[in-house]
Amino acid sequence: MHILISNDDGHSSVGLKAAVDALVSIADVTVVAPESNCSGSSNSITLNRPLSVHFASDNYMIINGTPTDCVHLALTGLLDNLPDLVISGINNGANLGNDVLYSGTVGAAREAYMFGIPSIAVSLVEKGWGNLESAAMILRDIVINCIKNPFQESFLWNINIPNISLNHVNGIKSTRIGKRYPSQLSTKHKTPRNETVYWIGPVGEVSDNSDGTDFNAISNNFVSITPLGIDLTIIDNLGKINKWIGSI
């Protein structure tokens, strides 16, 4: 199996290295990653300038662009042979609920999925790498199962792993996306030159962690696997909109 690995924390991330180290013995691994941290970049793609590729001593291909740029270039020009699977991560922090709309980790995986390639976004919940080795082992087990028992169709999975030791993980659950409240307020600051600047506020607190959600699985020490898609249409609203259009 040929696996392409990317991320949104940048090529120097220890989470990326952990994913590579966990998978290199079971698959042919290619790494194409951004040169800097691109957290929150979603599916942003660079169209206003050319992109450059640098080859690092560890054979990583480093792109001066977004996670989506990395996967897009890999699939449309950099690689002689397309991958069988794309892994994005291991991310430093959760991608739960509404996070999937902002996440560069999910964005990279979603780009591969739009090309018809099975893809996995994987995140270690909570900042810090205290249980990164456990997360890498779980990722390895999941990928081994993908090899032994191939899924019957292309997929986009968002996987979150609780930041606990392996022996405290209760198992793996398939989940749906939970919800957060809107983000907290932005904060205003003054620079040394007395210029006003703003920092985006922290993510909102959890508003839906009911049974079956990714939040609920994580809070109960389960790994969550949420199948995602591309179509954001609310089918149930089409009839309502048609009725509304008729009143124009």
Asked whether the whole model's pTM tops 0.85, one would answer yes
In this structure, which CATH number among 3.90.550.10, 3.40.1210.10, 1.10.287.610, 3.40.50.620 belongs to the domain 2-180+206-245? 3.40.1210.10
Task: Give the residue extent of every domain in the chain.
Answer: 2-180+206-245
Q: Which residues of the chain have pLDDT under 70?
A: none
Lookup: tokens for 190: 């003054």
Predicted confidence at residue 83, as pLDDT, reads: 98
Cβ partners under 8 Å of residue 7, min gap 6 = 13, 15, 16, 19, 33, 34, 67, 88, 89, 90, 91, 105, 108
Predicted confidence at residue 219, as pLDDT, reads: 97
Q: What is the pLDDT of residues 51-78, one digit of tens each?
A: 999 998 788 999 999 999 999 999 999 9
Predicted confidence at residue 245, as pLDDT, reads: 97
Binding site feature residues:
8-9, 39, 91
Predicted confidence at residue 130, as pLDDT, reads: 87
Predicted confidence at residue 127, as pLDDT, reads: 82
Predicted confidence at residue 91, as pLDDT, reads: 97
Q: What is the pLDDT of residues 230-242, one digit of tens each?
A: 999 999 999 999 9
Binding site feature residues for a divalent metal cation:
8-9, 39, 91
